[in-house]
Structure 1
Amino acid sequence: MQSVKYLNFKTTLLCLTACIAQNLYAETETQVSTQQLPTIKVQATRSDTSLLQTPASVYRIEQSQNQNNIGVNLTETLKGVPGLQLNNRENYAQDLQLSMRGFGARSTFGVRGVRLYVDGIPATMPDGQGQTSNIDLSSFDHIEVLGGPFSSLYGNSSGGTILTTTKEGQGRDSIELGYSTGSHNKNRADVVLQGGSGQANEPSYVVSSSYFDTDGYREHSDAQKVLSNAKLSWNLDDGSKFNWLMNYVDISANDPQGLTRNQWKANPKQQVPFLKQFNVRKDINQTQTGVNWTKPIDDHHEIYSMAYLGHREVTQYQSIPSSTQENNRHAGGVIDFERDYYGADLRWTGKDLLPNTRFSAGLAYDAMNEDRQGYENFNSNGVYGVKGNLRRDENNTLWNLDPYLQASWQFLPKLRLDTGLRYSNVHYESEDHYIKGVNGDDSGKTDYTKLLPSIALTWDITPKISSYMSYAKGFETPTFTEMAYPISGTAGINFALKPSTSDNYELGLKAQNQWGDFTAAIFQSNTQDDIVSAGTLDGRATYQNADKTLRQGVELSWNKKLWKELTAQASYSFLDATFDADISNSDPKKVIKSGNYIPGIAKSQAYLSLGWLPETGFNAGLDVRYMDKIYVDDLNTDSAPSYTVTSLNIGYIWKNNDWKVRTFARADNLFDEDYVGSVIVNDGNSRFFEPADGLNWSAGLSVTKQF
Structure 2
Amino acid sequence: MSTNLFAQTTITISDGNSGESIPGVLVKIQGQENKVSDNNGKVIINLDKSSILVFSHVAFETLSMQVAPESDVEVSMQPSTNALSEVVVSGFESERPLVHQAGAISKVLENELYRFNENSILSAFNTKPGIRIEQRAPASYRVSIRGSSLRSPFGVRNVKVYWNDIPFTFPDGTTDLNILDLANIQNTEIIKGPAGSIFGAGNGGVFSFESKKKITENYFSSDIGVGDFGLLRYRIGVDQKLEKGSVSASYVRQTSEGFREHSAVDRKVFQLALNSDISDKQSLSAQVLYSDLDYQIPGALTTAQLEEDRRQARPGSVEQNSSIAQKTVFGTLNHRIELGTKWENNTALYLNSKEFENPFILDYKRETALSYGGRTKFVLEDTWGNFPVRLLLGGEYQYGNTTAQNFGNRNGQADTVRFSDDLVTTQAFLFQQLEIEWTSKLLMTLGFSENFSRYDINRAIDAGPNEPSENQRRFDPILIPRIALVYKVNERSGIHGSISSGFSPPTIAEVRTNEGSINLDLEAERGINYEAGYRSQLGIFNLDFTAFYFKLDQTITTFTNEQGVVLFRNAGATDQKGLEVSIDYAPYRSQGSLIEEVKLSHAFTGHYFTFADFERAGNDFSGNQLTGVSPNTLVNLLDIRSKIGFYLNFTHQYVDEIPLNDANTVFQEAYNLVGSRVGWRNTLGSRWDVEVYGGVDNLLDETYSLGNDLNAFANRFYQPAPGRNFYGGLKVGMRY
On whether the aligned pair clears a TM of 0.5, the verdict is yes
Equivalent residue runs for 1:271-290 within 5 Å = 271-290=313-332
Residue matched to 2:312 = 270
- The one-character-per-residue Cα deviations of 1:67-97 (angstroms, maximum 9, x if unpaired) are 24442221133232111112232333xx212
Residue matched to 1:559 = 584
Q: Distance in 2 between matches of 1:150 and 1:517?
A: 25
One-letter code aligned to 1:635: A
Residue matched to 1:86 = 133
1:692 lines up with 2:734 in the alignment: no
Q: CA deviation at 1:261?
A: 1.5
1:154 lines up with 2:184 in the alignment: no
Residue matched to 2:602 = 570
Residue matched to 2:245 = 203
Residue matched to 2:687 = 658
In structure 1, which of residues 109, 134, 139 is the aligned counterpart of residue 154 of structure 2? 109
Task: Give secondary structure in 2 for the equivalent of 1:107.
Answer: coil
Equivalent residue runs for 1:175-214 within 5 Å = 175-197=220-242, 199=243, 202-214=244-256
Residue matched to 2:702 = 673
Q: Distance in 2 between matches of 1:536 and 1:666?
A: 43
Residue matched to 2:417 = 390
Moved more, 564-573 or 267-276: 267-276
Contact 2:91 2:101 in 1 (8 A): no
Q: Distance in 2 between matches of 1:59 and 1:700?
A: 28
In structure 1, which of residues 508, 512, 515 is the aligned counterpart of residue 533 of structure 2? 508
Task: Give secondary structure in 1 for the equivalent of 2:318.
Answer: helix
Q: CA deviation at 1:493?
A: 2.5
Task: Give secondary structure in 2 for the equivalent of 1:356.
Answer: strand
One-letter code aligned to 1:438: P
1:640 lines up with 2:668 in the alignment: yes
Q: Distance in 1 between matches of 2:735 and 2:426?
A: 46
Distance 1:253 1:241, change over 3 A: same
Equivalent residue runs for 1:56-95 within 5 Å = 56-92=103-139, 95=140
Equivalent residue runs for 1:114-513 within 5 Å = 114-150=159-195, 152-197=197-242, 199=243, 202-320=244-362, 333-354=363-384, 355-378=387-410, 384-435=411-462, 438-448=465-475, 449-485=477-513, 490-513=515-538
- The one-character-per-residue Cα deviations of 1:417-436 (angstroms, maximum 9, x if unpaired) are 10110011111111110155
- The one-character-per-residue Cα deviations of 1:310-369 (angstroms, maximum 9, x if unpaired) are 01121111112xxxxxxxxxxxx1111111111111111111142311101111111111
Q: Distance in 1 between matches of 2:644 and 2:88?
A: 26
Q: CA deviation at 1:193?
A: 0.8
Q: CA deviation at 1:169?
A: 4.6
Residue matched to 1:597 = 625
Q: CA deviation at 1:397?
A: 0.4
- Percent of paired sites with the same residue: 22
Residue matched to 2:46 = none
Distance 1:571 1:52, change over 3 A: same
Q: Distance in 1 between matches of 2:523 and 2:273?
A: 39
1:682 lines up with 2:711 in the alignment: yes
One-letter code aligned to 2:315: P
Q: CA deviation at 1:456?
A: 0.4
Contact 1:65 1:613 in 2 (8 A): no
Q: CA deviation at 1:43?
A: 1.4
Contact 2:104 2:191 in 1 (8 A): yes
Q: Distance in 1 between matches of 2:550 and 2:278?
A: 44
Normalized against structure 2, the TM-score is what? Answer: 0.85
1:50 lines up with 2:75 in the alignment: no
Task: Give secondary structure in 2 for the equivalent of 1:338.
Answer: strand
One-letter code aligned to 1:366: Q
Contact 1:83 1:100 in 2 (8 A): yes
Q: CA deviation at 1:288?
A: 0.4
Normalized against structure 1, the TM-score is what? Answer: 0.88
Q: Distance in 2 between matches of 1:534 and 1:146?
A: 29
Contact 1:282 1:314 in 2 (8 A): yes
Contact 1:136 1:228 in 2 (8 A): no
One-letter code aligned to 1:237: S
Q: CA deviation at 1:196?
A: 3.2
Task: Give secondary structure in 1 for the equivalent of 2:415.
Answer: coil
- The gaps in structure 2 that reach 5 residues or longer are 1-81, 590-596
One-letter code aligned to 1:272: R
More relative contact order in 1 or in 2 (CA 8 Å, sep 6+)? Answer: 1
Q: Distance in 2 between matches of 1:583 and 1:84?
A: 29
Q: CA deviation at 1:631?
A: 1.1
Higher strand share: 2
Task: Give secondary structure in 1 for the equivalent of 2:510.
Answer: helix
One-letter code aligned to 1:345: R
Contact 1:641 1:676 in 2 (8 A): no
Q: CA deviation at 1:654?
A: 2.4
Contact 2:564 2:713 in 1 (8 A): no
Q: Distance in 1 between matches of 2:84 and 2:663?
A: 49
Moved more, 432-441 or 176-185: 432-441
- The gaps in structure 1 that reach 5 residues or longer are 1-34, 321-332, 379-383
Residue matched to 2:24 = none
Moved more, 683-692 or 140-149: 140-149
Residue matched to 2:8 = none
Q: Distance in 1 between matches of 2:629 and 2:642?
A: 37
One-letter code aligned to 1:633: N
Paired residues, number: 644
Distance 1:348 1:123, change over 3 A: same
Q: Distance in 2 between matches of 1:555 and 1:537?
A: 39
Q: Distance in 2 between matches of 1:119 and 1:265?
A: 45
- The one-character-per-residue Cα deviations of 1:267-318 (angstroms, maximum 9, x if unpaired) are 2111133443222111111110111122122331111111011011211111
Distance 1:169 1:688, change over 3 A: same
Q: Distance in 2 between matches of 1:156 and 1:536?
A: 28
